[in-house]
Amino acid sequence: MKGRPRATILVVDDEEIVRELCESMLARLGFATVGAGNGREALERFEGLGGEVAAVVLDLAMPVMGGEEALRSLRARRPDLPVVVTSGYYSAEATARLVAEPAVELLKKPYALAELEAALERLLGP
């Protein structure tokens, strides 16, 4: 994955330190990143970037607009958008809904660089 052209990943997490850590991991993998602190901010960033966003790393539990609502809103704009959903806790109901979505990978926090890389490779290819 390190040899890929610098695609842009939108990183959405309300915890600034977690968002920055994810962005740092993605930079190590050769990606450019844009951060957002909640779902509403993610939609604004996504709209501003047009078709530049290759994928989204999206926290499930956030204030203002949570991950599931943000996922629906992003997919309304681009149905094929690859999304890595992250969370410290998944309910069985939320997990079932999310894994039914196309082009969605689930990562439980905390996740390692190799796990993030593998999820993106499954979504974007090697």
In this predicted structure, what is the pLDDT of residue 3? 52
> For residues 65 and 40, what is the distance between their CA atoms, to the nearest angstrom?
6
The residues, any chain, with a CB within 8 Å of residue 22's CB and separated by 6 or more, are 11, 13, 33, 57, 86, 116
Q: Are 42 and 30 in contact (CB under 8 A)?
A: no
CA pair distance 16, 33, nearest whole angstrom: 14
> Mean of the pLDDT values across residues 93-119?
88
Instruction: Please give the model's pTM, rounded to 2 decimal places.
Output: 0.91
Q: Provide the percentage of residues in the chain whose pLDDT is more than 70.
A: 94
Higher local confidence (pLDDT), 17 or 92:
17
pLDDT at 64 over 80: yes
Question: 7-16, 37-46, 74-83, 97-106: lowest mean pLDDT where?
Answer: 97-106
Maximum Cα–Cα distance across the chain: 37
pLDDT higher than threshold 60 for residue 5 = no
How confident is the model over 92-103, as a mean pLDDT? 78
Q: Which amino acid is at 16?
A: E
Query: Which one is predicted more confidently, 67 or 95?
Result: 67
User: CA nearest 31: which of 49, 57, 9?
Assistant: 9
pLDDT at position 62: 83
Q: Which domains does the chain have, with CATH numbers?
A: 8-124 (3.40.50.2300)
| Confidence check: pLDDT of 97 > 60 | yes
Residue 4 has pLDDT above 90, yes or no: no
pLDDT of residue 65: 82
Element holding 21 (H helix, E strand): helix 16-28
Please, which residues bridge with residue 58 across strands?
12, 85
Rg, C-alpha atoms of the chain:
13
